[in-house]
Amino acid sequence: MSHGRPLIPAFHEWPLVVFSTLAIMGAGLLSTPLFAWAIAGTPALAAGAMPWGVLLLGAGLIVSVGHLGRPLRAPLAPLGLGRSRLSAEIVAAGAALVVGGVAAAMPYVSPVLDLVAATAAVAFLVALGAVYSLPGQQTWRGAVAWMPLTTGLGFGAVSLTGHWGESLVAVGAFAAVALAVDTGLLILRRLSLVFPAAPLHPRYPAVFDRRQGLLAARLALVDILPGVCVFAGLPKGAAGLLALGILVDRLSFYGFACQHTTESEVSRVESLLAD
């Protein structure tokens, strides 16, 4: 593989990168009532995070429509619920957005609406990881399927520390657990990329060649630096770094797309003959 190629030649997944980054952050914020309820027995303390979650998730969904070949057919996607993972993702995202929007717009806190929106947001994060688990794409399966959930919950917990500073230690503990699990998943992710079970044919070779550096940047931005900032009393800095880390994570996810194909087998044989 040539290292002289531009980093992202003809990269067509930018709408998906932006959509999934914004949507993961938004869903993470909408999940914060679960943290508040677990710590204080009421989701009301997460009220300040809910409007931002609605804004980010809504913006992400708008961007995602631009990636569709026929945007006007997007409302038909829920009809496949029960048969399509994509339909499950859209339904969960729509439920989180609508219920979260109603809850954020109400003049008083509704614990029921807050918890329903949070539950739908968590379901969306799970569905977002599952929807890309495709047989042909070797690097979109396994540990990576759970990373939208860990990064989303981590972002929500880290952001909540800024809205609810008096419970910094308790909320920070939730963030630490989410990011610790994410670190374990990242280790498995790296092993699957360095020691693949089958020959891989990268869709974007120039990005795939830089996988070690991108994974290291993701580790620092998602799992290390935000935790340092939280326990240093800098929750806003932690949220900003984690947001950047989620962007790197999503860029890496689509950039590392690899298929196990006849072409990859031929390339492997040719490399063996060349040696």
User: 52 is written with which tokens?
Assistant: 């931002």
pLDDT surpassing 90 at residue 64: no
pLDDT value of residue 71: 53
DSSP structure class, residue 2:
-
Quick one: angle between helices 111-130 and 14-30, nearest 10? Answer: 150
The 10s digit of each residue's pLDDT in 74-129 is 565 665 555 678 888 989 999 999 999 999 999 888 999 999 999 999 999 999 99
What is the pTM for the complete model shown?
0.87
Residue with tokens 């929106």: 117
pLDDT value of residue 165: 61
pLDDT value of residue 135: 74
- Which domains are delineated in the chain? 14-274 (1.20.1630.10)
Q: What is the mean pLDDT of residues 35-55?
A: 91
Q: What is the mean pLDDT of residues 39-44?
A: 88
**Residue 151, beta-bridge partner list:** none
Instruction: Kindly provide the b/e burial profile for residues 138-174, where b requires at least 16 CB atoms within 10 angstroms of the residue's own CB.
Output: bbbeebbbbbbbbbbbbbbbbbbbbbbeebbebbbeb
Distances (CA, A) of 168 to 119, 216, 223: 23, 27, 18
Task: Give the confidence band of 264 by pLDDT, cuts at 50, 70, 90.
Answer: very low
Residue with tokens 């992400």: 60
pLDDT value of residue 270: 46
Length of the chain: 275
CA gap 238, 60 in Å, rounded: 21
- Which is more confidently placed, 19 or 132? 19
Secondary structure, 3-state, 107-163? CCCCHHHHHHHHHHHHHHHHHHHHCCCCCCEHHHCHHHHHHHHHHHHHHHHHHHHHH
